[in-house]
Amino acid sequence: MCGIVGYTGLGQGAAGGVATPSRTPLDVALEGLRRLEYRGYDSAGVALVAPGFERVATAKKAGKLANLIEEVDLHPLPDATAAIGHTRWATHGGPTDTNAHPHLADGDRLAVIHNGIVENFALLKQELLADGVTFHSETDTEVAAQLIAKAYRETGNLTAAMGVAARRLHGTFTLLAVHADVPDTVVGARHDSPLVVGLGEGENFLGSDVAAFIAHTHEALELGQDQIVTITPTSVAVTDFDGNPAEAKRFTVDWDAEAAEKGGFDSFMDKEIHDQPHAVGDTLLGRTDASGNLVLDDLRIDESLLRAVNKIIVVACGTAAYSGHVAKYAIEHWCRIPVEVELAHEFRYRDPIVDEKTLVVAVTQSGETMDTLMAVRHAREQGAKVISIVNTHGSTIPRESDAVLYTHAGPEIAVASTKAFLAQITAAYLLGLYLAQLRGNKFPDEISAILDELRDMPRKIQTVIERGEYVRATARSMRDASSVLFLGRHVGFPVALEGALKLKELAYIHAEGFAAGELKHGPIALIDEGQPVFVVVPSPRGRDSLHSKVVSNIQEIRARGARTLVIAEDGDDEVRKYADEIFWIPQAPTLLQPLLAVVPLQIFAMALATAKGLDVDQPRNLAKSVTVE
């Protein structure tokens, strides 16, 4: 997912209308891009404008942001009044200097950056070629730049030109543009792709998320679908694509720049694993009213409709989908409503059975996952109500949902999700308990008792983290492993799936999760001498039959030469006899155990990847959020 930054300001101690080196637009753009590196990218670039510029000043380089910084150090750019910056994830055209953004047009007086995909770019390009336009890259973005340039020559107004171009583009896009004729202005447009506005004093900002400008302001605007924003140092104007005035919702960011820094840890992922007790605790805060009843953040669904729900469908992708699988067990048990879990990218293409009595729960860290957004829109078209579980304020999916339950994990910078996963599970538990309260499936004292158990989970998660050195040492001893298997039952099954995903994402080795009951139905053929197998063992309390069955699974694979790495609750003496390595977790109710059991798997994947010399924050080929289908 590309990173986008826009800035216009007089600067601190500005002279002659051009920002001084105390805080220049270039500084703001590069700092914003650095904070957006976690989104994944393969090239970076900036464009600057100021009074008297005959052309836009640009620099762009393939590779990491350090390459761009080296380029501007070697070939300094002039002082400016406005800047746009971009980190690109290649779609149309490879990751080269030429294909990097910004792209220029109108005699190099216009610069454009873009997040998303223009699906009709080929048709538009043919039209522009017929008009005599020359292209210099393989990108769809240059087509958008040339469209804006053409419209600007016709209208003489950058905002109007953006609207003309945006109406012709099909696909998903956020566009930012600057022009030498209006050197204090940045214009942005969004369609199915994120863009937020940062509000300052004598300066204003644009970003693909608030991390781009959080070091400078906590006040922001969330733009709606198909809106254009025009910022100058002293003004912010929002319109629709036709130029009609439009409203944007103001909000305050409740975390600061320090929260997006490593804080002394070796990686963002390590920091975020350690953040997990706070992420779970903060997600639980403020969820009850004066009477002790559960409440949701932003409920726009009549309670009578929720009481009438006869089916719930969770739609999500990747790690978020595994949180949905945990939610299925809890919600069905507490509410007695059937729950399906769907991969969002498959949902609308299989003609799902959805009606006004269906509740769709969309789970997404970013709130911008395109597959999930399309699933939400399809569900609402079929009459379903949608509740979203989201970590990012100002994003698209909560705006298009009927209700939202925000997690409070704070910024998650590492591409591979950790604390957002635990916060999503916690939010799903709250949703399940809310529905049980609303529908009368549980007595108030029962709900209160479960909430008390949930409120104790941050302490227990902290205990697991403090035991992490043994997990790390085990991982370091396995740096040459080429394949690791994961087994679990009941809520341990999605934990096994998530453990396998983390290892694939970070260590680039074969890893696969199975339901332990499936072992004899095929996967046991993979077991040979020395094969590492993680086993998530259910609590011996309450569900004794499952515990004994999983212990039998451990015996079966160990007899065939497997190296058994077991996650078990404190005091589970039965499992000691069959485990080569045991990673102990505190005792917890069965449905809440995933909040603990997944933590050693996160630590293991991170430590193994680190031992292999890999970048755990930015795994190859991956982006933080997938904003195209």
Whether 317 is catalytic is no
273 with 359, same domain: the answer is: yes
Backbone angles phi, psi at 347, to 5 degrees: -55, -60
225 with 238, same domain: the answer is: yes
Any domain includes 479: yes
Residue 511, helix vs strand vs coil:
strand
**Residue among 271, 385, 502, 624 flagged as catalytic:** 624
Confidence of residue 17 (pLDDT cuts 50, 70, 90): very low
pLDDT at 368: 87
**Residue among 2, 60, 460, 504 flagged as catalytic:** 2
Q: Where are the beta strands (DSSP E) in 97-185?
A: 103-105, 110-118, 171-179
pLDDT at 15: 37
What are the tens digits of pLDDT across the range 426-477?
Answer: 999 999 999 999 999 999 999 999 999 999 999 999 999 999 999 999 999 9
Q: Among 126-130, 259-263, 460-464, whose mean pLDDT is lowest?
A: 259-263
pLDDT at 384 over 70: yes
Which residue, 403, 435, 455, sits at the end of a domain? 455
Closest to 192 in 3D by CA, of 158, 231, 226:
226
pLDDT at 45: 96
Dihedral over Cα of 594, 595, 600, 605: its sign: positive
CATH of the domain at 240: 3.60.20.10
> What gap in Å lies between CA 385 and CA 373, rounded to an integer?
14
pLDDT at 544 over 70: no
Residue 340 bridge partners (DSSP): 313
pLDDT at 206 over 60: yes
Any domain includes 460: no
Confidence of residue 585 (pLDDT cuts 50, 70, 90): very high
Q: What is the dihedral of CA 528, 530, 532, 538, to 10 degrees?
A: 80
Which residue, 425, 455, 485, sits at the end of a domain? 455
Query: Which residues form the domain of 540?
Result: 467-629
391 with 360, same domain: the answer is: yes
Q: Among 5-14, 64-73, 213-222, 328-337, whose mean pLDDT is lowest?
A: 5-14
Q: CB-hemisphere CA count at 13 Å for 326?
A: 33
pLDDT at 14: 38
Q: If you count them, how many residues does the chain have?
A: 629
Which residue, 455, 483, 513, sits at the end of a domain? 455
Dihedral over Cα of 244, 245, 246, 252: its sign: positive
pTM of the model: 0.72
Q: What is the mean pLDDT of residues 531-555?
A: 85
CATH of the domain at 374: 3.40.50.10490
What are the tens digits of pLDDT across the range 330-363?
Answer: 999 999 999 999 999 999 888 889 999 999 999 9
> What gap in Å lies between CA 128 and CA 520, rounded to an integer?
61
pLDDT at 12 over 50: no
pLDDT at 61: 95
Contact 69, 30 (CB under 8 A): yes
Token output for 404:
């939202």
Whether 2 is catalytic is yes
pLDDT at 259: 65
Mean pLDDT of the chain: 90
Total domain count, the chain: 3
Any domain includes 21: yes
> What gap in Å lies between CA 428 and CA 413, rounded to an integer?
22
Q: Among 267-276, 300-309, 341-350, 468-477, whose mean pLDDT is lowest?
A: 300-309
Q: Where are the beta strands (DSSP E) in 10-42?
A: none
Helices 158-168, 141-155: axis angle to 10 degrees equals: 130
252 with 266, same domain: the answer is: no
198 with 345, same domain: the answer is: no
Confidence of residue 552 (pLDDT cuts 50, 70, 90): confident
255 with 267, same domain: the answer is: no
